[in-house]
């Protein structure tokens, strides 16, 4: 049987490819479990500095697996807390780049938004079409999309179910970079290597601080940032980074 995800480590970067191309990478329980189980140990590995999550050329992921969900009852969904496994993915502390080519719809768009940065191929299409199925986003889409792009665009996408292309997605702040499709993985890998080259405490603190901006008021957020900034002076990487600058050499961060 084909593996639901293909995990390949290249130095400090881990590339994770969703592997149901014939089903447009529809996100079934196997994919959810595999991501949770296989990425957790890598997340704890100090030698891993960044994940790149990607799909196929045609689809990053076309959403939750509709065929798996279609016949479920309310109590099955509720009692199993269906989709709760995705919270494990969202909670990974290592920086995650989503490299999106083709469709990122429903749960696929939500998976991309659980990552820290989204790079889009010029072929990418984003959308939350759940309304067409008689439901609404269920993996955080109504919350994350609204925080990322604002109410106007989020309501437009979620209520009409339409797709937006990479240009619109970049314009409204969902996407960090648009890249020609054939360069997508090279560009995502290069950014991942850059991130993975920094001290892990610093990248973790940077993620936490930026994410905090979406959660709390500015005064609390700035206080949180200041405390993390101060705390980083307890790390060897801060000493190394600043000494390297003063000595006009490249730093060698050891994640300590």
Chain residues in the site for ligand HXC (CB under 6 A): 23-24, 26, 59, 62-67, 103, 105-107, 129-130, 133, 135, 137-139
Between residues 112 and 192, which has the closer beta carbon with respect to ligand HXC? 112
Question: In whole angstroms, how close is the CB of 70 to ligand HXC at the nearest point?
Answer: 9
Between residues 45 and 80, which has the closer beta carbon with respect to ligand HXC? 80
**What is the full DSSP assignment across 188-246?**
HHHHHHHHHTS-HHHHHHHHHHHHHHTTS-HHHHHHHHHHHHHHGGGSHHHHHHHHHHH
Classify the phi-psi angles of 140: left when phi > 0, otherwise alpha if psi is within -120 to 50, otherwise beta.
left
130 is catalytic: yes
- Strand duo 50-54 + 117-121: pairing: unpaired
Question: In whole angstroms, how close is the CB of 103 to ligand HXC at the nearest point?
Answer: 4
Of residues 110, 120, 140, 196, which has the active-site annotation?
A: 110
Between residues 67 and 151, which has the closer beta carbon with respect to ligand HXC? 67
110 is catalytic: yes
Of residues 55, 59, 106, 130, which has the active-site annotation?
A: 130
How far apart, in Å, are the Cα atoms of 116 and each of 113, 145, 175?
7, 13, 10
Q: How far is Cα of residue 32 from the mean position of the Cα atoms in its chain?
A: 14
Question: In whole angstroms, how close is the CB of 141 to ligand HXC at the nearest point?
Answer: 7
User: Which residues are catalytically annotated?
Assistant: 64, 107, 110, 130
């Amino acid at each position: 049987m084909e593996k639901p995800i293909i995990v390949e480590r290249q130095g400090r970067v881990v590339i994770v490819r969703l592997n149901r191309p014939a089903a447009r990478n529809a996100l079934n329980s196997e994919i959810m479990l595999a991501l949770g189980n296989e990425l957790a140990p890598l997340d704890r590995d100090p030698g891993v500095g960044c994940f790149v999550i990607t799909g196929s050329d045609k689809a990053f992921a076309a959403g939750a697996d509709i065929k798996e969900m279609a016949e479920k009852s309310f109590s099955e969904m509720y009692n199993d807390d269906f989709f709760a496994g995705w919270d494990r993915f969202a909670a990974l502390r290592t920086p995650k780049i989503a490299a999106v080519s083709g469709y990122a719809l429903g749960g696929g768009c939500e998976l991309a938004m659980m990552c820290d940065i989204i790079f889009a191929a010029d072929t990418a299409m984003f959308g939350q079409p759940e309304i067409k199925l008689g439901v609404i986003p269920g993996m955080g889409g109504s919350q994350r999309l609204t925080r990322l792009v604002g109410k106007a665009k989020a309501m437009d996408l979620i209520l009409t179910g339409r797709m937006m292309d990479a240009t619109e997605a970049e314009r409204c702040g969902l996407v960090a970079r648009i890249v020609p499709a054939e360069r997508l993985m090279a560009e995502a890998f290069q950014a991942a290597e850059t991130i993975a080259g920094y001290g892990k405490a610093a990248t973790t603190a940077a993620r936490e601080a930026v994410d905090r901006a979406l959660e709390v008021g500015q005064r609390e957020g700035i206080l949180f940032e200041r405390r993390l900034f101060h705390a980083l002076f307890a790390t060897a990487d801060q000493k190394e980074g600043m000494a390297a600058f003063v000595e006009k050499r490249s730093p060698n961060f050891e994640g300590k």
